[in-house]
Structure 1
Amino acid sequence: MELDFERCYRAVDSRDQRFDGCFYTAVRTTGIYCRPSCPAVTPKRQNVTFYVSAAAAQRGGFRACRRCRPDVAPGSPEWDARADTVGRAMRLIGDGVVDREGVTGLATRLGYTERHLNRMLTTELGAGPLALARAQRAQTARILVETTDLGLAEIAFAAGFGSVRQFNDTMLEVYAQSPSRLREKRPITRGEAGVINLRLAYRPPLHATSLLGFLGARTLPGVDEVDDLTYRRGLALPHGTGSVALRPADRWVFATLRLSDVRDLAPAVARCRRLFDLDADPDAVDTMLGADPALAAMVAAEPGVRVPRAVDGFEMAVRAVVGQQVSVSGARTTLGRIVRAAAADDGSGGTDGLGPSGPAPAPASTNQLTGFPSAAVVAELPDSAFGMPAARRATIRALAAAVADGKLDLEPGADRSETTARMQELPGIGPWTAGYVAMRAIGDPDVFLPTDLAARRGAAALGLPDSAKALAAHAERWRPWRSYALIRLWRAA
């Protein structure tokens, strides 16, 4: 991807936070790379090179700035939104697929040869999958060094490095400091085992009220809860279970993670960022939507509204099926019955490390949040667990079987059009359900549901056409951000 030098330099000169994570500034005279908003003196034009990824800057021989910490900038909004192979690859790398399955596993998931995948990523990002994963490992390791009392050898393997030597060499190259020196600079205090406090960066503004309100209205006992402007939920992760408490604040979302296995730190962070849509570009979204007179006042009054996404694609799909033609409260009752039945069946009831200024550990109630049951568990539940018509029960069972068998991929790295088509092949799943899942589970920023009753009510309240056909036609002007427009219509309703 080519970067416009003048546009990038103007962003650096004005220290524009909106461009953090969109590109990185490398200064040849210092050997350092920074985020655009770095408070240091603006470098001279002739000394600057711009990169589209931190991994590319590291590959070019630059180390991360210790002042602005560019490796913890928000993720690129372009890769977050794009549905092509590069966007899907970046989401999978962020979820730790390369660390768990290697480049071979990543290429297999995407349907390309390793050589061709490496070529595509290098062309677009200036670095291949191994370099991109290496940059993420370094960031994960730095968080563990600075926020836990784990031994350095334990941290090396927890972060995904193949050896302690590789860990030491990478940290020295990326941060110009050894792991032991990083720990000396930010001494830790012994805390609860498995608890990690972080700050998750985002591009302001962030309308936290809309996020917490949406998620709070849909919480399920044992899965998630909202209290005192903090959202908590259980997590099912590749190596074990965990829970998280997320508290939005100015410029950061404070996160308290409890993990049964610290190897799950990177996937847990990626899923939390995804849940709160923290890699979005609110300026681009609001500029587009605010140009419509019908939405202009709402956008001005509530800037930075995000799309509440998901940490579990299967959970979101079940929520969508259950929510067909029933109220939010009715869906919660039915979903709660499924969660309780599953619990009874198995017998169970851009990140930044923080120092002393970090959030207090989440209340003990977070430990009881176990997350939504897996597809395999739901597929085996008895009829009495569902409390719904037989046809809809059959839909959920078919959905669970398809996910459990690997025939349906509902994670962010999935091909959006293919997943939507496959969902609609299942009995009882139509365009509304598939579109809702694409928006919230797979992260498609351009979904619109013109037949949705709440969307039509919101449209009427804003003076827009409220028939499905006319509303769909009007929504064409909101591309490629129709998912965000849909959230605003729901708020207007």
Structure 2
Amino acid sequence: MELDFEHCYRAVDSRDPRFDGCFYTAVRTTGIYCRPSCPAVTPKRENVTFYPSAAAAQRGGFRACRRCRPDAAPGSPEWDTRADTVGRAMRLIGDGVVDREGVAGLAGRLGYTERHLNRMLTAELGAGPLALARAQRAQTARILVETTGLGLAEIAFAAGFGSVRQFNDTMLEVYARSPSQMREKQTVGRGEAGVVNLRLAYRPPLHAESLLSFFAGRTLPGVDEVADGAYRRGLNLPHGGAVVSLRPGDRVVHATLRLDDVRDLAPAVARCRRLFDLDADPVAVDGVLGSDPALRGVVAEEPGVRVPRAVDGFEMAVRAVVGQQVSVAGARTTLGRMVRAAVGVGQATSVGEPTPIPQTDTTAPLAGFPAADVIAALPDAAFGMPAARRATIRALAEAVADGKLDLDPTADRTETVTRLTELPGIGPWTAGYVAMRAIGDPDVFLPTDLAARRGAEALGLPATAKTLSSYAERWRPWRSYALIRLWRAA
């Protein structure tokens, strides 16, 4: 990816945090790379090289700055929103696919040869999939070294390294310190097994109240909850379950992760960031929406409104189907009945099924949403809905369980929407809602949505589906964010 030197240098000279994660500044005289907002003295132009990824900077022989922690910067909004192969590859790498399945598994998921995928990623990011995964591995290891009392050998394998020697060599190369040297200055104790505390950076502003209120109105007992300014929920991860607590703060979201298996740290972090839309660029979004006189007031009053996303695409699709033509409260009741029935099935033979996760005495037990095969096997009485809608959920669950339908953010958006609408009982509204919240499409608009039309009317906008759809064209490519604004106005 070609970076404009003048634009990048101006961002560094002004220490603009909006560009953190979009590119990295490498200083040849020090051998260090930083995020654009690093508080250190601005380096001279002739000593600077800009890289599109931390992995590219490491590949160039630079180590991470200890002051600004460039590896902990928010992810690039470009890879968060792009629907092409490179964007999908970055989301898969972030979810740990290379560590679990290798480059061959990553290439197979994307439908390309390993060689061609390597060429595409190197052209865009200055590094191939192995280097990108290695950079993420080093960051995961640093978090575990600095925030847990795990033994260093345990951390090496939990972070995805093939050996302790590889772990030590990588940490020395990336951070210029060995794991034992990094541990010397830490005061962490052994602590509670599987518990990791960390801070998730984002680009301000973040309108936390809109996120928490949205989730609070849709919580399911045993799956998620909002209490005391934090959102907690269960997760199904590749190696086991987890419970996460996310509390928004100034420039960071404070996260506590209780993991069955610490190998799931990287995918858990990726899903938490996705859930709160933390890699978004709110200035760019609000710039487009705020240029519309109808939205200017609400954007100024509530800057940084994000799209509440999802950690489980199947869960979001089921929620969307159940929510068709019923109130939010009615949908919660129906979904709660399904979750209780699924837990009562007593099947706990594979990852992804709702096995209760032990918690402290002060918190309620939470688990991830039941897996697709569990929902498909439920008796009719567990659904509590019309036969046609019940058939839709069964068809959805069977398609996901059989691997015929991919609802992860790494899926091809166009193909997923097409396959969703081929299922009985799923129309454009349901497919669009899933594309927005589960797959992460930033440019979805639902003109037939009743709440959107009420919000539009409240803001003095056209309130019929056809005229509202036409008007919304001016909000591209951020119509998903405009939809959230309309819902809040309603």
Specify if TM > 0.5.
Answer: yes
Alignment counterpart, residue 419 of structure 2, candidates 414, 418, 422: 422
Deviation at 1:190, TM superposition (A): 2.5
AA aligned opposite 2:443: D
**Aligned letter for 2:444?**
V
Is 1:443 matched up with 2:407?
Answer: no
Residue-pair matches, total: 480
Letter in 2 for 1:206: L
1:368 is paired with a residue whose SS is coil
- Aligned position for 1:337: 337
Q: Secondary structure at the match of 1:421?
A: helix
Q: Name the SS for the 2:245 alignment partner.
A: strand
- Matches of residues 109-258 of structure 1 in structure 2 within 5 Å? 109-258=109-258
Partner in structure 1 of residue 87 of structure 2: 87
Letter matched to residue 392 of structure 1: R
Could you tell me which residue of structure 1 aligns to residue 371 of structure 2? 374
Q: Distance in 1 between matches of 2:486 and 2:81?
A: 21
Could you list the runs of 5+ residues in structure 2 that have no partner in the other structure? Answer: 349-358
Q: Is the Cα–Cα contact under 8 Å of residues 244 and 256 in structure 2 kept in the other structure? A: yes
Could you tell me how far apart the structure 2 residues matched to 1:41 and 1:16 are?
14
8 Å contact from structure 2 (residues 89, 410) kept in 1: yes
Please report how far the alpha carbon of residue 151 of structure 1 lies from its aligned counterpart in structure 2 after TM superposition: 1.1
Please tell me whether residue 396 in structure 1 is matched to residue 415 in structure 2: no
Partner of 1:479: 476
Structure 2 counterpart of 1:137, one-letter code: R
Is 125-134 or 1-10 further displaced after alignment? 1-10
Contact 1:243 1:259 in 2 (8 A): yes
Q: Percent identity?
A: 84
How far, CA to CA, are the matches of 1:299 and 1:306 in structure 2? Answer: 12
Write the letter of the residue equivalent to 1:215. F
Matched with 2:77 is 77
CA distance in 2, matches of 1:376, 1:387: 18
Q: Distance in 2 between matches of 1:325 and 1:106?
A: 39
Shift of 1:187: 2.6
Deviation at 1:367, TM superposition (A): 5.8
CA RMSD of aligned residues (A): 1.0
Deviation at 1:346, TM superposition (A): 1.2
What CA deviation, in whole Å up to 9, does each residue of 1:57-92 have, x standing for no partner?
A: 000000000000000000000000000000000000
Cα distance change on mapping 1:305 and 1:145 into 2, 3 Å: same
Distance 1:347 1:2, change over 3 A: closer
Distance between the aligned counterparts of 2:92 and 2:301, measured in 1? 35
CA distance in 2, matches of 1:73, 1:363: 31
* 1:413 aligned residue: 410
Q: Which amino acid aligns with 1:149?
A: G
> What CA distance in whole angstroms lies between the structure 2 residues aligned with 1:45 and 1:64?
19
d(CA) in 2 for partners of 1:289, 1:409? 31
User: Matches of 1:253 and 1:363 in 2, distance apart?
Assistant: 22
Letter in 1 for 2:332: R
**For residues 186 and 211 of structure 2, what CA distance do their matches in structure 1 show?**
33
Q: How far off is 1:2 after superposition?
A: 1.1
CA contact (8 A) 2:217 2:328 kept: yes
Q: Distance in 1 between matches of 2:11 and 2:186?
A: 31
Q: Give me the whole-angstrom Cα distance separating, in 1, the residues matched to 2:130 and 2:436.
A: 29
Q: Are 1:29 and 2:26 an aligned pair? A: no
Tell me the SS of whatever aligns to 1:191.
coil
Deviation at 1:347, TM superposition (A): 6.9
**Alignment partners' CA distance in 1, 2:147 and 2:122:** 33
2-side partners of 1:363 and 1:58: how far apart? 40
- Indicate the residue corresponding to 2:351 in structure 1: none
1:285 corresponds to which residue? 285
Query: Shift in Å at residue 153 of structure 1?
Result: 0.9
Is 1:452 equivalent to 2:449 in the alignment? yes
Asked whether the 8 Å contact 1:216–1:226 carries over to 2, the reply is: yes
In 1: Cα distance, 2:247 partner to 2:360 partner: 13
CA contact (8 A) 2:150 2:190 kept: no
Give the Cα–Cα distance (whole angstroms) in 2 for the partners of residues 75 and 173 of structure 1: 22
Corresponding residue for residue 490 of structure 1: 487
Superposition TM-score, scaled by structure 1 size: 0.96
- The one-letter amino acid of 1:449's match is L
Alpha-carbon distance in 1 for matches of 2:257, 2:368: 14
What is the aligned partner in structure 1 of residue 356 from structure 2? Answer: none
- The answer to which structure, 1 or 2, has the higher relative contact order (CA under 8 A, 6+ apart) is 1
SS at match of 1:25: strand
Offset of residue 382 of structure 1? 0.4
CA contact under 8 A between 2:222 and 2:366: conserved in structure 1?
Answer: yes
Letter in 2 for 1:457: R
For 1:364 and 1:109, the matched residues in 2 are separated by 41
Q: Does 1:58 align with 2:55?
A: no
Q: Matched residues in 1 for 2:141 and 2:191: separation?
A: 18
CA–CA distance in 2 between the matches of 1:207 and 1:3?
Answer: 30
Structure 1 gap segments, 5+ residues each: 349-361
Q: Deviation string for 1:363-383 (max 9, x for gaps)?
A: 645461012100010000000
In structure 2, what is the equivalent of residue 434 of structure 1?
Answer: 431
Higher mean C-alpha deviation, range 321-330 or range 184-193: 184-193
Contact 1:243 1:367 in 2 (8 A): no
Distance 2:151 2:402 in 1: 38
User: Is the 1:58–1:174 contact (alpha carbons within 8 Å) kept by the matching residues of 2?
Assistant: yes
**What residue number does 2:68 align with?**
68
Matched, 1:324 2:321: no
Q: How many Å separate the matches in 1 of 2:249 and 2:360?
A: 18
Contact 2:307 2:480 in 1 (8 A): yes
SS of alignment partner, residue 451 of structure 2: helix
Mapped partners of 1:435, 1:467: distance in 2: 18
Which amino acid is 1:473 matched to?
Answer: S
Q: SS state of the match for residue 435, structure 2?
A: helix
Q: Structure 2: how far apart are the matches of 1:364 and 1:61?
A: 48
Distance 2:70 2:451 in 1: 41
1:313 match = 313
Aligned with 1:315: secondary structure?
A: helix
User: Aligned equivalents of 1:266 and 1:132: distance in 2?
Assistant: 13
